[in-house]
Amino acid sequence: MTGKVLPVAKGIVALALVGVVLYATFHAVQAQQTQTPPERFIAPVDVDTAGLPGPVQPIFYRHDVHAGQYEMDCLYCHYAAEVSSSPGLPSLDACMGCHLLVGGGNPEVAKLREAVNEGRPVEWVEVHKLPPFVHFPHMRHVLSDAEIECQDCHGEIERMPQVYQFASLKMGWCLECHETEEATTDCTACHY
Amino acid sequence: MRATPGGILAAYRHVDAASEAIVALKHSGYENFTVYSPAPNEELFEAVDHPVSPVRLWTLFGGLTGLVTGYAMTMWMSYDYPTVVGGKPVGSVIPYIVIMFELTILFGALATLAGLAFHAWRSNRRAPFDGRFSDDHIGIFVPCPVERRPAVEQILTAAGATEVMVETG
Amino acid sequence: MGKEMDRRRFLKVLGVTSGGAAAVGCSTGTPEKLVPYLVPPENQIPGVATYYASTCRECPAGCGVHVRVREGRAVKVEGNPGSPFNGGKLCARGQASLQGLYNPDRLRGPMARGADGGLAPISWDDAYARIVERLGSTAGDRVAFVTGNESGTFDRLVNAWLTALGSQGRLVFEPFGYEALRYANQQVFGVDALPSYRFAEARYVLSFGSDFLETWINPVQNTREFAEAHSVTEEGMGRYVHIEPRMSMSGINADEWIAPNTGTEAVLALAIANVVLADHGGNAPSDVFRVRQLLEQYDPESAAGVCGVPAETIRRLAAEFSENSSLAIAGGMGNQHDQAHAAAAAVGILNYVAGNVGRTVVFGSDPDPGAGSTYRGLADLTQRMRDGGVDVLFVHGANPAYNAPSGLGFGEALGQVDLTVSFARVLDETAAHADLILPDHDPLEQWNDFEPRAGTYLLQQPVMQPVFDTRQTGDVLLALAGQLGASVAGRFSAQTYKEYLQAAWRTRQNQLGGRGVAFDDFWAASQQAGGVYQPEPTRAQRLDRNVGGLTFSSWSGIAGSGDLTLMAYPSSVFYDGRGASRPWLQELPDPVSKITWGSWVEIHPETAAEHGIVDGDFVEVTSAHGTAVAPAFLYPGIRRDVIAMPLGQGHSELGRYAQDRGANVYNLLSSEPTEFGGLSHYQAVSIRATGEHEVLASPAGRSRQMGRGIAQSTTYEHVEAGDAHPFHVEHAAEVPEAIEQVLDEWQAAQDRERAIGNYAGDHPRWGLAIDLSRCTGCSACVTACYSENNIPVVGKLGVQRGREMSWLRIERYFEGGEGDEPLTVEILPMMCQQCGHAPCEPVCPVFAAYHTSDGLNGQIYNRCVGTRYCSNNCPYKVRYFNWWDHSDENSAAHSFPEPLHLQLNPDVTVRDKGVMEKCTFCVQRIRGKQNQAVLEDREIADGEIMTACQQGCPADAITFGDLNDPNSAVSRLSQSDLGYRVLDGLNTDPGVTYLMRVRHTVEE
Amino acid sequence: MATTAPPEGLPVSRPTYADVTRDIVATLGNPGRIYYGLLAFVITILLIGFGALLYQIKVGLGVAGYTPPVMWGVYITTFVFWVGIAHSGTLISAILFLFRSAWRTAVYRTAEAMTVFAVMTAGLFPLIHVGRLWYAYWLIPYPNQRMLWVNFKSPLVWDLFAIGTYFTVSTCFLIVGLIPDVAAVRDKATGWRKKLYTITSLNWRGTDQQWRHYTRAYLYLAALATPLVLSVHSVVSWDFAMGIVPGWHATIFAPYFVAGAIYSGVAMVVTLLVPLRRVFKLERYITTDHFENLSKLLLLTGMIVAYAYATEYFIAWYSGNTFEQASFWNRAFGDYWWATWTMIICNGFLPFFLWFKKIRRCIPALFVLSLFVNLGMWFERFVIIVVSLSFEYEPYAMGHYTPSWVEWAIMAGSFAWFFMWFLLFAKNFPTVSIAEVKEIIPMPRKKA
């Protein structure tokens, strides 16, 4: 008789096991979905500058690391954007403010320190160019009622390992916004 | 050019002869014959007696289009980016009249040209041609099947053709 | 456009000098470099201007300046509103000091004369070594040091340094030394000093040839105060009579011009004084008895015979002089003949008897532009040099080889000196003979101070990094002292001149009773204020005991060699010639002749006719001492027996802009020092037409208005009577009522059609009001405009072809002057009138010229195609076309050779070839203030926005503001009865209102 | 028409249709050495002018003699001159066509070709004269990313449209007129010319249908061209009349300019026809009568021009406008008196000779006269433009302008450009209309 019972029992056990496994995995999956913390942006580790859009800079300064990963405020470096027509470039000793301590191992940071020690200015390649006959007051836009974000014109800078020109910066492009926002379209607002 | 239809081609030195022939042809019911002449000639035109060319309608519509375009363009462009000059209204019609006028003429002329091309091409029947017809002869070609040719030839010669040729299609 | 080139090069320069600066603006150039600061200079934000207070050293007046600095480079020099002298105003020369800083011909480092006689670069150390070595082997008394006016710490340093060397060889040489005036005051008042003249209190000015609006003492202050005191007020109007053989720019501003016989000012002044004392002696101080007897010799009748001025005129002048709060001035360089001291003395007496001394003529603060310099001193030194009495000669801030007569032979005498060390910034005539040149910092790069008069201590501070490898002479002297052995070194504790200066200011702080305040605070405060301004000390001045014994003689007159008298007068543009290296000043038309880029000879049309000379004919002027050739300028404002030539041109050195241009008039003058130790600026000469001719390099097309009422004037009589009788160009018929109404409705309809888009709602209408009664024609505004708006200079040929780009021009018209009718000269600043119904706008096919919502004639350079139709259609002719590429360094017309391009205002586009440009009321300033106001969420206050011309104007003749605001200053002025608009009949509705010039004339 | 009495302008020695074809086709024979010599000459001049233009573009307009306030000089003067020349063509082909004046048939082809080439020449000058010709296309209202349009209130934009239209229409006119002739030539030609004409004749065979539409189309083109002719130079004249400049701002300008334009145009036709007739032996077709008719036109327009001069001065005086008065005084007795008097003598006095039939029928005299008129008309524009500008409102800003070699070179180049085209045309296309000459010759009839 037992000879007949065993296979059945085996069958039940097997089923049970399968059920348990399935249940467990199912729960495990659920657990994973619920428990992982909100994803934080991690700048990709090494990116080859040549392959990236935009001009190659003397020092491979990475906006995606500074503004993206470490979420530094744009105005920390571009300190003049709210008060001046020019956003301002961070002086090298502003960079050294942090890099005296951090990033020592990084070869690019080494370049920076070298430049500072030699008292030689770094010649960044300009990315966002306007013709000389256009006068663009940054402060008016940064502080305008239209609540313009830096990204609106410069693109997702905090995700750019190497900065490239995002918007066309052509007059038509300016005018579109000026018309939708009902800002002035008077020529001498920008040309003089 | 594809093979011309068969028929009779007659050449005339005298304008009155040619017109007679035309009249006679029409009298005996021939319609779709072709008359060649080196220069426009009232007498022939009377004989052929075509209705007035529709080209003039092209001219009219061309002109009107030009006028409307002129007005629409100047006014719309003025108000699209309003710019004041010399204390004048943004869209001031009077100076724009010049533009409207010029466009009227321009479109009118081009339309006329188009009309000419269109109609001249449409009405251009395939028919044999002879170099003399652009020099000093008037030519008449009557397309007709073989059995009717003697009759036609008779009419044309009677009118005083200097030469009558049978064109086998 | 050109700016791109400009910026890249600019960065290169700062790359070597200041380690880079943040870049603003943008450009189409590729690849463009952005260079950040290594270490950011404090309080400098890229794109935001910083202002540094300093002191103008273009002339000895000592005006305070504010230097506008952008991204580490000075871009404009403006007046310091806190200065008691210029109160925020600045003359053309001051504006152009920027081009001293950026002069392309500045020496880029120390130079030494090699064996081959040529100058070659040398290191600072070697240069020091050479000097130390030479000084080591020289007795102190064989060392001489020539400087210009350096009344301040540097002055004391030089003296201390020489004393340390055991030398007494200090000489101050200022070509405009006012020797006659000081000598006369010595005679009349017993003090070798100058008083200060209170034009502010003088309602009646009697100038005996003093060009007090041009170069005399402190022209900016004089102009400010004169314009105020001369203007129409409730009490009446000031009056100004000018007495000179020639109608100078100052004379043009006079209500009456009297040209007595040449050199007889003394007699005229004494005659007036005589009448004043005799008939109106009321105000005379008690001790006038000392001169009473003297004056009685000069009764009007006999004086009339000498001077050629009618006796009744003398009486009238005397009456006017004594009835008003008056001021008589003399001792201008233009009238410095060999009896100038007599004239000055006579005028001193005149002021005294009229009771002006202590009121409008105040002794005590002793301003001295000459800093005690005398021409005789230079002559003596030259003699010593010639006799081999000088081994080592230092020359700083003086150029005797140029501005002393060639007869003196200073240049040759330099050959007798072993070692001549020059501190010149640009290779000048003196430096050209030097063995060593140790270029000094430009005043805008220096730490220094200056004391133009007692109680006023002005500070200079570096506004930017030095442009070149130069060193401040103060530092050089201290460094040398350090190497000259203990005896010398011991006397100087300071290592750098800045320390030395601060030490001096520490003591000053104590003198000024500033104890208690920390020095750093005092120092910072002084820096910000541009100096320390104490009230002018005054002292009562009495006549000298021996004044009665004075003898007066007129100028000896025509002596021998010629039948005409030459007046060598100071150029209001170049001063004594030091300004000639500034392209802005070279292109600035002379206020009187309107000639640029050269010299000229002023001749009365009738005299010219006798010699068969017409405008532009070259004239050879020959005196006993030399000859000079220059084109003739026929000027009805000069005596028939006098010709005049301006000083300042004819440089053989001083860089590309000054070299070989015009004639050096000093060479026509006698090198003999006069009795008062000065240089006589009068010479007997003969003239001859050489036969050559040139088109005068002058923007003045016609000199007569043809009755078109461009520059209108009236008399005070009419103003009092309440009818300024405005000049009518158009005799338009009365328009019937009905028509008027229709027109108004039509106009209203048009306005409605305009008020859309940007034009909807309320907007300001910017406008100017220009008071011609105040405008003196000094042209400071013109240079201010060049500086603010990056206007290129076009050179002599350009001006001859009428292609000057000056957005703002001073028009000069002659009225009358033919036969016996009196000459009047009308002056009018003409810039874009920003018409409401501008004829230039509708003709532009591409809207490059259009009307902005705030009432400007916008000119969009980058949209301009260059049809030039707008210019044809502009009745005021104020549009200027770029015939060449002035911004292209490869173009022959390049206007900004390095480092002049650093002066360019980053807020204004540098215009391209083939583009029309014009005045837009400094729209960049308007937009700047508007942006600021929006950020601060406020309205713009009236007078907050200043155009560059308004800001510079010493006479406050220009007012800018919103015409739509009924309470704005400009609206109120535009409503004045004197107001008129040029060519009003054309219905252009200009935004500029001129206030007629009012002349305070009197009937004989 | 053939049945009526022989109309005016009918060739004297009654040529037959065959003669006409033969004689005119004969003009297209292979050119000789002189022809190539001429062609080489004009092309050389053209190249020199082009070189000067490149130099001016490179260095800047400063190389021209401009002296503010004279901002328009030789270039605009020559522009107006050529636009003027362009007028007689369409006048003769369109207006006289509507007036059914038969004598036009022999001369209109030359005039029309001249018109087209003159417009082609004129069109270059606005480009040469602007400061940034590389941006000249901004005058065209095309959609652009800047969202900017042009200023239709500006007479220069009117010009653009007027000249553009005129060029298009007169070119259409010329081509349409050529079609039947080219066909006629085609049937005589051989070799490569045969191919050329076969293509250009657009398969014209002169059928009744083709003639039917052709005659109508031609009539309406003429009807459109007529107001156009009058408008074009009116618009050009408004470049000035719309200005505020004394001496420009006058209502008389439109008719005054149109008359002047036709005047100069007809003069140029005479200048061209006289040698052409001689070289191509067309005396049979272009007879003295034709020249007399042309000189009658000259006389008429010349009288109008003379009247306009008088009116200008009268109005200047009568208006009481001091600026106008001064401006005209300056014209006659100022720095530029010589230019003014050249203009008045050439255009105002010389045409009076045409009252004499002798002179009207004396071809050498006419030729010389036509040259003087061309000269005078150039100076008329010079005076109106340069002299007025040199003497405006602001006495301080008055100036004196003298053209530079660059301007002369470019102007000479423009003449070369014009004659190059004309030479090429004259040798390759019938300069006398075959079909229209035939049209006025009665066809032979069997019943005499």
Q: pLDDT at residue C841 above 50?
A: yes
Q: What is the pLDDT of residue A7?
A: 56
pLDDT band, very low/low/confident/very high, at C311 (cuts 50, 70, 90): very high
Within 10 angstroms of residue C761's Cβ, the number of other Cβ atoms is 7
pLDDT value of residue C20: 29
Share of chain C above pLDDT 90, in %: 79
Q: CA separation (Å) from C959 to C86, C772, C827, C995?
A: 18, 12, 17, 11
What is the predicted pLDDT for the residue at A147? 85
* Least confident piece of the model among C610-624, D12-26, D132-146: D12-26
Residue C729 clears pLDDT 50, i.e. is over it: no
Q: Which chains touch A (3 or more CB pairs under 8 A)?
A: C, D
How large is the average pLDDT for residues C526-555? 90
Model ipTM value? 0.90
Contact check, Cβ <8 Å, D165/B106 = yes
Which residues pair with residue C426 across a beta bridge? Answer: C106
Q: Tens digits of per-residue pLDDT, C493-507?
A: 999 999 999 999 999
Q: Identify the weakest region by mean pLDDT among D94-98, D168-172, D378-382.
A: D94-98
Neighbours of C447 (CB within 10 A): 22
Q: Report the alpha-carbon angle A159-A165-A168, nearest 5.
A: 130
Whether D413 has a pLDDT exceeding 70, the answer reads: yes
Band of residue C27 on the pLDDT scale cut at 50, 70, 90: very low
State the Cα–Cα distance between residues C372 and C451, nearest whole angstrom. Answer: 13
Assess A100–D contact: CB distance below 8 Å, yes or no. no
The tokens for D23 are 């004689």
Given this model, what pLDDT does residue A37 score? 52
Q: Which residue has the higher pLDDT, A20 or C461?
A: C461
Report the helix count and the strand count for chain D, using DSSP H and E: 17, 0
- Residue D229 distance to chain B (closest CA, Å): 11
Best of C841, C861, C863, C869 to substitute, by most chain D Cβ atoms within 10 angstroms, is C869
Out of B96-105, C277-286, C683-692, D161-170, pick the least confident. C277-286
Q: What is the pLDDT, as a whole number, of residue D3?
A: 37
* C837–chain D nearest CA distance, Å: 12
Measured between beta carbons, the chain C residues lying within 8 angstroms of D61 are 866, 881, 883, 914
Q: Report pLDDT digits (tens) over D390-407.
A: 999 999 999 999 999 999
Q: Which of C19, C10, C34 is nearest to C102 (CA)?
A: C10
pLDDT of residue C2: 36
The size of the A-C interface in CB pairs under 8 A is 154
Query: How does pLDDT run across A85-143, given as a tens digit for each residue?
Result: 988 888 888 888 889 888 878 889 999 999 888 888 888 898 988 898 999 999 999 98
In sequence order, the β-bridge partners of residue C357 are: C361
Residue C88 · residue C564 · CB < 8 Å:
no
Closest CA to C62 of C37, C84, C95: C84
C-alpha closest to that of D87 among D64, D115, D107: D115
Give CA–CA dist C491/C162, Å, rounded. 11
- Shortest CA gap A173–chain D (Å): 8
C92 strand-pairing partners: none
Helices (H), chain A: 2-35, 63, 74-77, 92-99, 107-118, 138-142, 150-154, 171-180
Residue C274 · residue C299 · CB < 8 Å = yes
Distance from CA of D258 to the nearest CA of C (A): 22
Looking at C23-37, C409-423, D328-342, which range is the least confident one? C23-37
Q: Categorize the per-residue pLDDT at C16 as very low, low, confident or very high, splitting at 50, 70 and 90.
A: very low
Cβ-based contacts under 8 A for chains B and D: 206
Neighboring chain B residues of C759 at a CB cutoff of 8 Å: 82, 84
Q: Give the closest of C7, C48, C910 to A84, CB-based.
A: C48
What the block records as the tokens of C952 is 């510079």
- Tell me how crowded residue B36 is: count the other CB atoms within 10 A of its CB: 27
Least confident among C677-681, D104-108, D244-248: D104-108
State whether the Cα torsion C12-C14-C15-C20 is positive or negative: negative
Instruction: Locate the chain D residue with the closest alpha carbon to C890.
Output: D59
Chain D contact probe: residue of B16, B34, B37 with most D CBs at under 10 A = B37
Span of B119-123, D164-168, D324-328, D360-364 with lowest mean pLDDT: B119-123
**Confidence category of residue C883, pLDDT binned at 50, 70, 90:** very high
Strand order in the sheet with C73-79: C50-55, C64-70, C73-79
- Other beta carbons within 10 angstroms of residue D144's beta carbon come to 14
pLDDT for res C13: 33
Instruction: Give the minimum alpha-carbon distance from A165 to chain D in angstroms, rounded to a whole number.
Output: 18
Q: pLDDT at residue D226 above 80?
A: yes
**Of B115, B119, B118, nearest in space to B62 by CA:** B115
Residues within 8 A of D (CB atoms), C 741-770 only? none
Share of chain C above pLDDT 70, in %: 94
Neighbours of chain C (3+ CB pairs under 8 A): A, B, D
The DSSP H or E segment spanning C55 is strand C50-55
Q: What is the DSSP string of C196-209?
A: EE-TTT-SEEEESS
Res. D89 pLDDT band, cuts 50 70 90: confident
Tell me if D243 sits within 8 A of D353, measured CB to CB: no
Query: What are the CA-CA distances from residue C611 to residues C53, C561, C614, C645, C690 (Å)?
Result: 53, 17, 9, 17, 11
pLDDT at position C21, please? 31
Contact between B108 and D220 using a beta-carbon 8 Å cutoff: yes
Residue C807 has pLDDT above 50, yes or no: yes
Do B124 and B137 meet the contact criterion of CB atoms below 8 Å apart? no
Residue D242 has pLDDT above 50, yes or no: yes
- Residues paired with C170 in a beta bridge: C145
Which pLDDT tens digit goes with each residue over A16-34?
666 666 665 656 555 555 5
End-to-end Cα, chain A, rounded Å: 106
For C198-241, the pLDDT digits (tens) are: 999 999 999 999 999 999 999 999 999 999 999 998 888 999 99
What is the tens place of the pLDDT at every residue in C910-945?
A: 999 999 999 999 999 999 999 999 999 999 999 999
**Looking at the predicted structure, is the pLDDT value of residue C593 above 90?**
yes
Under the banding of pLDDT at 50, 70 and 90, the label for residue C725 is low
- Nearest CA to D80 among D138, D152, D163? D163
Q: Which two tokens stand for residue D76?
A: 């605009």
pLDDT for position C558: 61
| Contacts with A135 from chain C: Cβ below 8 Å | 25, 907, 924, 927
Residue C117, amino acid: G
pLDDT at C12: 33
Interchain CB contacts (distance < 8 Å): B and C: 47
Cα dist. C22→A87, C28, C429, C586, C953 in Å? 10, 18, 39, 33, 33
Q: Find the mean pLDDT for residues D163-183.
A: 93
Helix (H), strand (E) at residue C579:
none
Query: Please, what is the end-to-end C-alpha distance for chain C in angstroms?
Result: 61
C316 neighbors C156 (Cβ within 8 angstroms): no
Q: Above pLDDT 70, what percent of chain D?
A: 97
- In this prediction, residue D95 carries a pLDDT of 86
Neighbours of chain D (3+ CB pairs under 8 A): A, B, C
Average pLDDT of every residue of chain D: 91
Interface of D with B in 155-214 (CB under 8 A): 157-158, 161-162, 164-165, 168-169, 172, 176, 180, 183-184, 186-188, 203, 205-214
Task: Using pLDDT thresholds of 50, 70 and 90, give the confidence band for residue C24.
Answer: very low
Residue D144 in contact with partner chain B when CB distance is under 8 A: no
Question: Which tens digit of pLDDT belongs to each residue from C562-587?
Answer: 789 999 999 999 999 999 999 999 99
Q: What is the predicted pLDDT for the residue at A30? A: 55
User: What is the average pLDDT value for chain C, to the nearest integer?
Assistant: 90
Mapped onto helix, strand or coil, the DSSP state of residue A149 is coil
The Cα A84–Cα C537 span in angstroms is 45
Computed over its alpha carbons, how large is the radius of gyration of chain A? 28
pLDDT grade for C268, boundaries at 50, 70 and 90? very high
Cα–Cα dist D251/A93, whole Å: 72
**One-letter amino acid identity for A101?**
L
Tell me what pLDDT residue D365 has. 94
